Structure 1
Amino acid sequence: MATARTLVSAALPLALTFPGFGSVDFGSAAPPPALPVIGYVGSVGVPTGERYAGEVIGGLSGIDYDAARDRYVAISDDRGEQGPVRLFTLTLPIRDGALSAPVFDGVTVLRDVDGNPYVPGSADTESVRWNPGTDGYLYTSEGADRAGVGGFIRQASGDGRVVRDLPLPDAYRPVLGENGAIVSGIRDNLGFEAMTVAPDGSAVSAMTENALAQDGPPANPQGPTPAKLLKLDRASGAYLGEWEYPADAVPPGAVPEATGVSEILAVDGHTYLVLERTMIPGRGFTGKLYLASADGPAGRMDKQRVFDFADVLPDSDCVEGITWGPTLPDGSRSLVVATDDNFGRAGRTTFHLLAVGPAD
């Protein structure tokens, strides 16, 4: 396991508060001060096919940390083909500033609105967050346009039962034309891959992996695809706004279907870390972290790259989940990234440890 730290920095053209590090003010009239950096600390893996309580640990597409209990929750994107739609709880010990092997300690079978385990193919769960002030969760599903199944942002109790769905604008509902092709709404497997809760718990923000059908083309080599960020009030579900996020064009040789936004993480009420990933056959996966701002009532998000896995790893595996973690021994705030092993088809289950702190 690698433990050497490589620091990667980038100019961030806005005032930014990283948890634990205060405000960094980039005034236009003065040269910028020392910038926060995101550095790679190390990684730890889970053997392919490993099980907990009889269920395969795989397809991990979202992760979140509860600091009060020093405990993580991770959700599988298994559509019911390798086992029930489920999430796991675990600990990720950090010893001497490095990750130790994860310890899984719970599995929860998620339920549909009728209280039954999901019928295979009826949910494509991707992102999960602890629901503040409860023992339950918020999680997303991408939906399946060909089956007429829309995506959702769902609140669940600690035993996996549905509490409610947050209301979504009609624009996200998949609508098919006479030829069966989607004409508007979330495209199949390109929906709410990403979701986060504001640091104060007031809002839930979810982002599509690629553009809605009516907004533009999916990921392609010619240019960015306008993914959509949707922000809702967590308590009432009230609509708070939408912003377009320019997800990267497909790099040369990469797989379009594996290219796009895989997770977001709130920094403050309007600033997010956005994780994008792609796969190049024969070379593996890589991912980039961008800082993006949605500080107006609506419109287009600006973004700046702050970390690139390709700078530190030849293959990052399929990076799909990200969460703030505990403070590291040197005072840095940690980021934990989880990967999706696609159940042995591509990639491995890996946890990456990153550090966020001020530059030297």
Structure 2
Amino acid sequence: MATAQLLTAGAVALAGLTGLLPGTGSLGAGSVEVGSLASATPPPRVDYVNAITLPTDLEFGGSRVGGLSGIDYDRASGEFVAISDNRGEQGPVRLYTLGLPLDNGRLATARFDEVVHLRDTDDAPYAPRTADTESVRWLPGRAGYVYTSEGEAKVARPGFIREASPDGGFVRDVPLPDHFTPRLDRDGALVSGIRDNLGFEAMTLSHAGSRVTAVSENALAQDGPAASLDGTSPSRLVILDRASGADLGEYVYPVDPVPAGGLAQATGVAEILAADDDSYLTLERTMIPGQGFTGKIYWTTTDGADDVSGTPALTGSERPMRKELLFDFGTVTPDSDCIEGITWGPRLPDGSRSLVVVADDNFGLAGRTTFHLLSVSR
């Protein structure tokens, strides 16, 4: 365990936004505490509070802090966990436990408490480029972690959803439906499965941690096109029983088109967060060269959408999930940085529930390590 470290970072300007959120949520260590989002009236407010940005040269536990791509909050202890999407090329594949203390309801510091080196199925450290870890959630009772890897479709390396012990050791994989596995033809072209760098960035737990929900960043290769300037991409959301791996349902989630000037390969679902039995918050982001990153938070639900489990390839006639924009970071900052993780956080002094969003600095290639704080209130 590494020694605790306290950081103070500058905050960006305070701004507010009133949005149409169908309800409020409270999530900790994978368990849901809320009623139906769709029935809440009047609609709550979603307000931007502030953000802190970490120094670019910060080191902790023997390696640089960077690539933070997923975050989760444990309500009982008040501690967060964040995972790095380092592929074993900037130090070991790892996650961090940390505190994000508030000062008068605003983020003021980040305190890194422990670095946990994750281990492969043979209980050895991951070899470079064998894992691209993106999303992380506490297991109930802080009994360990569940995390995702995007895999590497261009070499037919599948992604995975994996459980780890508190010290990072391999516990087991949650089985995935076969049609998510990338497959190449004899010329090396992808014909089915997750697209390269557009796999499982997004994952959440629900039903007291008994269910895992993940969504591909863009459509599977056989299901339709990736997001473009001309249209949406039909991503697949899959709900799995965590214990048995049983496929409990799959649904089409429509990813936004690429905005003008944006990069298609940086557009998609960066994270998903359980809000109720069949409702979620999703985080979508895009990079626009020369301008920075855009980010939006949506409410979405499987209610009324077609269950496409057992369907190897979509036809385009399926009823997709409904989605509704809750918050646009562009209303408060011209560059949200590369936001990739979202979690419910602690109650704020005014009684509102917080959302904490983390941005990936891509180890200096694009963006900064930033934590954003939002409040959700009635």
Matches within 5 A, 1:1-360: 1-2=11-12, 4-10=14-20, 12=22, 16=23, 18-19=25-26, 26=39, 33-295=41-303, 298=307, 300-358=320-378
Distance 1:100 1:206, change over 3 A: same
Aligned equivalents of 1:11 and 1:187: distance in 2? 31
Q: Distance in 1 between matches of 2:190 and 2:37?
A: 44
Q: Find the residue that maps to 1:209 and give its secondary structure.
A: coil
Separation in 2 of the partners of 1:256 and 1:10? 28
Q: Which stretch shifts more, 292-301 or 104-113?
A: 292-301
Give the equivalent residue in structure 2 for 1:29: none
Question: Alpha-carbon deviation of 1:276?
Answer: 0.1
**3-state SS in 1 of match to 2:330:** helix
Please, which moves more after superposition, 137-146 or 198-207? 198-207
2:109 alignment partner, SS class = coil
| 3-state SS of 1:102 partner | strand
Cα distance in 2, alignment partners of residues 169 and 200 from structure 1: 23
**Which has the higher mean CA deviation after the structures are superposed, 291-300 or 244-253?**
291-300
**SS at 1:114's partner residue?**
coil
Equivalent pairs counted in the alignment come to 350
Distance 1:25 1:342 in 2: 36
Deviations 1:10-60 (A, max 9, x none): 375xxx45337755665xxxxx94211211000001111211011111000
Question: Deviations 1:111-158 (Å, cap 9, x if unpaired)?
Answer: 111111111011100000001135210000000112221000000101
Q: Distance in 2 between matches of 1:155 and 1:176?
A: 28
Q: State the alpha-carbon separation in 1 of the partners of residues 92 and 372 from structure 2.
A: 26
Letter in 2 for 1:308: D
The whole-number CA distance in structure 2 between the counterparts of 1:98 and 1:262 is: 24
| TM-score where L is the length of structure 1 | 0.94
Kindly indicate whether the alpha-carbon contact (under 8 Å) linking 1:263 and 1:321 is maintained by their aligned counterparts in 2.
yes
Please state whether the residue corresponding to 2:87 is helix, strand or coil: coil
Measured in 2, the distance between the counterparts of 1:21 and 1:295 equals: 17
Q: TM-score, normalised by structure 2?
A: 0.89
- RMSD of the TM alignment (CA)? 1.6
Query: How far apart are residue 223 of structure 1 and its match?
Result: 0.5
Structure 1 distance, partners of 2:58, 2:24, is 39
**Contact in 2 for aligned 1:277/1:288 (Cα 8 Å):** yes
